């Protein structure tokens, strides 16, 4: 396994750099082809496809027997112990409106547990990397989540799935987070939210049913940076889940975050 991970790290870093360069060079171009994706307002661009093609080629060249799940192409290869999950342009909606907040995400899982995650902030040219039990790194330096003393002064990331954007419980919870914390931040580029948590720029993340191909690299990065990763009941979140409900924060704040989420979900809606 050690040799596989060593090679995988090099392949993933090379792939995210190539994909990020494509997006950066195409950013703010007036002739980008944009298509609607589903009925929830999501979109896909030619850059998603170009970046994805580059990543898939590099992975398949070195690991032809590994299965891949990629944002646009879907599933490739035969199911086995190893699975690559790819989001070639995390933050496509931002990209299409000229907002320079987007990146690339690659995760390698072994028996449905993330063992390697690589995230690239395409505009800031920063690589984040986490390997299971080896810590979280940005630009060759270890990064850590922070512990703040005052809940009211915290900034918390909010990630919500497209399919539940009109969910009443999600609206209640988001409203309560807005009321409780100094700021609730939605970037529409989840991997970059996870990177902010991992490097201590924000204090927590609450995720409401958003399992996209950007999820598992971010979770591994946050976990390896010292974050507590749990579901809304306080159970440690592990493996894969098609409908995840997740809280991530410094372990010092576990109980308070659980209380806040419960309060938000229990609030009555006033008509």
- What confidence tens digit (pLDDT) does each residue in 124-158 have? 999 999 999 999 999 999 999 999 878 899 999 99
If you average pLDDT over residues 77-105, what whole number do you get? 97
Q: Using pLDDT thresholds of 50, 70 and 90, give the confidence band for residue 31.
A: confident
Contacts of 3 (CB under 8 A, 6+ apart): none
Mean pLDDT, rounded, of the chain? 95
Given this model, what pLDDT does residue 41 score?
A: 67
pLDDT for 105-114, tens place per residue?
A: 999 999 999 9
Q: Please state the domain extents for the chain.
A: 2-142, 151-266
Q: Which of 2-6, 57-61, 267-271 has the lowest mean pLDDT?
A: 267-271
Query: Which tokens is 214 given?
Result: 């950007």
Given this model, what pLDDT does residue 240 score?
A: 96
pLDDT of 271 strictly over 50: no
Q: How far is residue 216's CA from residue 16's CA, in Å, rounded to a whole number?
A: 15
* Top-level class of domain 151-266: alpha beta
How much of the chain exceeds pLDDT 90, in percent?
A: 87
Given this model, what pLDDT does residue 269 score?
A: 55
Q: Using pLDDT thresholds of 50, 70 and 90, give the confidence band for residue 30.
A: confident
Query: Which tokens is 9 given?
Result: 């790290």
Asked if the 2-142 domain carries CATH number 3.30.540.10, the reply is: yes
Cα torsion for 63, 65, 66, 71, to the nearest 10°?
Answer: 90
C-beta of residue 66 within 8 angstroms of C-beta of residue 80:
yes
């Amino acid at each position: 396994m050690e040799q596989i991970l060593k090679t995988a790290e090099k392949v993933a870093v090379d792939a995210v750099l190539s994909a990020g360069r494509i997006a950066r060079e195409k950013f703010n171009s007036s002739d980008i082809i944009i298509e609607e994706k589903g009925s929830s307002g999501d979109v896909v661009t030619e850059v998603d496809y170009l970046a994805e093609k580059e990543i898939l080629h590099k992975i398949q060249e070195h690991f032809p027997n590994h299965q891949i799940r990629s944002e646009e192409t879907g599933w490739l290869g035969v199911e086995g112990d190893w699975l690559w999950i790819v989001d070639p342009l995390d933050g496509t909606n931002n990209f299409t409106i000229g907002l320079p907040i987007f990146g690339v995400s690659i995760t390698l899982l072994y028996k449905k547990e993330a063992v390697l995650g690589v995230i690239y902030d395409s505009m800031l040219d920063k690589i984040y990397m986490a390997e299971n039990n080896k810590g979280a790194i940005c630009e060759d330096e270890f990064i850590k989540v922070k512990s703040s003393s005052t809940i009211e002064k915290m900034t918390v990331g909010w990630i919500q799935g497209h399919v539940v954007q009109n969910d009443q419980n999600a609206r209640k919870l988001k409203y309560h987070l807005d009321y409780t914390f100094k700021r609730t931040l939605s970037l529409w580029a989840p991997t970059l939210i996870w990177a902010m948590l991992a490097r201590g720029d924000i204090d927590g993340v609450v995720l409401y049913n958003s399992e996209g191909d950007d999820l598992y690299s971010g979770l591994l990065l946050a976990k390896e940076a010292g974050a507590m990763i749990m579901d809304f009941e306080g159970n440690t979140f592990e493996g894969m889940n098609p409908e995840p409900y997740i809280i991530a924060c410094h372990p010092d704040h576990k109980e308070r975050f659980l209380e806040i989420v419960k309060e938000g979900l229990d609030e009555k809606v006033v008509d």
